[in-house]
Structure 1
Amino acid sequence: MAEWDLRKLRILRTLRERGTVTATAEALHMTPSAVSQQLTNLAAQLGVPLLEAQGRRVRLTGAARLVLAHTEAVFEQLERADAALAAYAHGEAGEVRVGAFPTAVPALVVPAVRALRASHPQVTVRVREAEAGEAYELLAAGEVDLALSLAAEAPSAADPRFTHVPLLADPLDVALPPDHPLARAARLTLTDLAAEPWIFGGSGPWSDITRRACESAGFSPHQGHSASGWTAILAMVEAGMGVALVPRTAAARREGVVMRELGADRPVRHVVAAVRKGAEAGAAAGRVLEALRDVAGPAAGAARA
């Protein structure tokens, strides 16, 4: 029987996800030479070639992909074993590291932490703010236990590493200066604002969300100004420099800015939580997920109102 070394298999798995030896070394806090040496040793232990040259880079062989296809179930079972041991040893106590995108922290994570302090004071939550896509990288690297992100930034539901939990369909409202001709209109659609200068980031998920929402309404938004922080965006809206889409759950609100709901076809962003496959069985992680769902329930109701 071949000798299976979990540490080396994790290195191979990370190489598949990161693409290069250098990126793998950075993710695992190793040197590139150490990564290469460990994978050479693993290939010798298994008796099959795992890497092949592709120009100046390497790629996984068919044998390497076959190995990983079988070991995914092992990694999942080990996550379940870790979760079961934690539940056995600590009951409902434990620490859960949560990575969350900026607007989710005040809207969902903080209320969930407050509720847990009252209901399960032995469950400790450590929060790490991260951009939506980065949250999954942190989860895959084992640096957080639960990622709160946007469905648009999530890996495929078929990704064997994660279990996804839908939380909230968050409507997008439009921010207008108070003297805008449409600020008091009886009904407002995105199409009514097709000729306006729009304010959103030059790249990233919010840029993509704004562009997709406007394109779904039949026009390509003219980016009058680029900003990623809500304080800057709403200050420019208040000054009459343009209009912007703002998620309903965003903590940022500003006097001097009129927030208008859009019609029945209003755009939404979908908020999801994710854990590594198998880790949802952990008592502490399950409590945090339960608290997030409880917070998201009323938020979803307010969004539908």
Structure 2
Amino acid sequence: MTDWDLRKLRVLRTLDELGTVRATAEALRMTPSAVSQQLSSLSKQTGVPLLEAHGRRVRLTDAAHVLLRHTDIVLAQLERAEAELEGFARGEAGHVRVGSFATAIPRLVVPAVSALRRDHPGLTVKVHQADAAEVYDLLSAGEIDIGLSLAAQAPTGQDGRFDRAELLTDPLDVALPSHHRLANAPGPRLAELADEPWIYGDAGPWRDITIAACAQAGFVPEQAHVAADWRAILDMVAAGMGVALIPRLAAASRTPGVALRVLPTDQPRRHVVSAVRSGARERPWIALVTRALNDAAVALPNVQ
């Protein structure tokens, strides 16, 4: 029976994710030479070539992808084993790292951490702000234990490395200058804003969400200003510089000069999910933090 080295398997997994030996070495804090040696050793151990030349780069062979498929299963099972072992130490101090996109931190993560500090003083929670898509890289690298992200940013459903669960559905409201013609109109529709100047980011999920919602309403939004920070967007709307879609998680307090209107007919939504490495959700401390996040989501007003 082959004596498997998990370190070599993790090197192969990271190479598949990042694409180059140099990037793999940087991510794992190794030298490129050490990465190549680990992969060469793993290839000799398995008896099949795991890499093949592809221009100036290398790519994984079909045999390597078979090995990775089983590696994901093995790593998930080891996470479950560690979860059971942690059950023997439930009374000891724990440490959980939570990665989250910015708008989920004040209204989900902070209330959850506050409740945990009160009820479980032996548990330490470290928060790591990251982009919605980045949390999966952080999970894969072992830098966080729980990631809050958007369903639209998740890897494909066939990716067995992660276990995802929906946390809440975050409706998007339209932010209008308070003097706007539709600021007090009953039941505004997105199509009525087709000729307005729009404010949204130049890349990332929010640009995609805005364009997709407007496309569903039958128009392409004219991007008058580029911004990704919600405070900046709301201030620009208040100044009459344009309109924007705002998630309710980001609009916790009223902004003077801004009318936030619900779009009852064509209400766009984004889905917030929690993600962990496969098998890790059963770990006692991770389960505890996950429940606290779920409780914080349920307690949010006006968010489903």
TM-score, normalised via structure 1 length:
0.95
Deviation at 1:213, TM superposition (A): 0.9
Q: Is the 8 A contact 1:92 1:120 kept in 2?
A: no
Superposed, which structure 2 residues align to 1:177-192 within 5 Å? 177-192=177-192
The Cα offsets for residues 61-102 of structure 1, whole Å up to 9 and x where unpaired, read as 122112122222211111112222223224474111000000
Structure-1 residue corresponding to 2:133: 133
Q: Is the 8 A contact 2:190 2:266 kept in 1?
A: no
Matched, 1:3 2:3: yes
Counterpart CA distance in 1 for 2:156 and 2:88 is 32
2:237 partner letter: V
2:127 partner letter: V
Query: What is the CA RMSD across the aligned residues, in angstroms?
Result: 1.4
Structure-1 residue corresponding to 2:267: 266
Counterpart CA distance in 1 for 2:158 and 2:115 is 32
Q: Which stretch of the first structure deviates more once superposed, 120-129 or 80-89?
A: 80-89
Deviation at 1:187, TM superposition (A): 1.7
SS at match of 2:249: coil
1:223 partner letter: Q
SS at match of 2:112: helix
Structure-2 residue corresponding to 1:73: 73
Q: Which stretch of the first structure deviates more once superposed, 59-68 or 88-97?
A: 88-97
SS at match of 1:303: coil
Superposed, which structure 2 residues align to 1:116-127 within 5 Å? 116-127=116-127
Q: Is the 8 A contact 1:168 1:271 kept in 2?
A: yes
Deviation at 1:255, TM superposition (A): 1.4
Counterpart CA distance in 2 for 1:123 and 1:4 is 34
Q: Is the 8 A contact 1:157 1:164 kept in 2?
A: no
Superposed, which structure 2 residues align to 1:1-305 within 5 Å? 1-91=1-91, 93-250=93-250, 251=252, 253-299=254-300, 302-303=302-303
1:198 partner letter: W
Counterpart CA distance in 2 for 1:219 and 1:287 is 45
User: 5+ unaligned residues in a row in structure 1: which ranges?
Assistant: none
SS at match of 1:38: helix
Q: Is the 8 A contact 2:94 2:123 kept in 1?
A: yes
Deviation at 1:120, TM superposition (A): 2.2
Q: Is the 8 A contact 2:43 2:50 kept in 1?
A: yes
The Cα offsets for residues 235-293 of structure 1, whole Å up to 9 and x where unpaired, read as 11011010011101114642111111111320001000000001101000001111111
SS at match of 1:223: strand
Counterpart CA distance in 1 for 2:6 and 2:24 is 16
SS at match of 1:132: coil
The Cα offsets for residues 29-51 of structure 1, whole Å up to 9 and x where unpaired, read as 11212111110011112221111
Percent identity, please. 60
Deviation at 1:297, TM superposition (A): 1.5
Counterpart CA distance in 2 for 1:124 and 1:255 is 38
Q: Is the 8 A contact 1:92 1:283 kept in 2?
A: no
Counterpart CA distance in 2 for 1:252 and 1:153 is 27
Counterpart CA distance in 1 for 2:289 and 2:155 is 22
The Cα offsets for residues 191-224 of structure 1, whole Å up to 9 and x where unpaired, read as 1111100001111111111111111111111100
1:297 partner letter: V
Counterpart CA distance in 2 for 1:253 and 1:29 is 46
TM-score, normalised via structure 2 length:
0.96
1:8 partner letter: K
Q: Which stretch of the first structure deviates more once superposed, 1-10 or 232-241?
A: 1-10
Counterpart CA distance in 2 for 1:62 and 1:102 is 39
1:34 partner letter: A
The ranges of structure 1 where at least 4 consecutive aligned residues each deviate by more than 3 angstroms after the TM superposition are 90-93
Deviation at 1:124, TM superposition (A): 1.6
Q: Is the 8 A contact 1:2 1:47 kept in 2?
A: no
Deviation at 1:143, TM superposition (A): 0.4
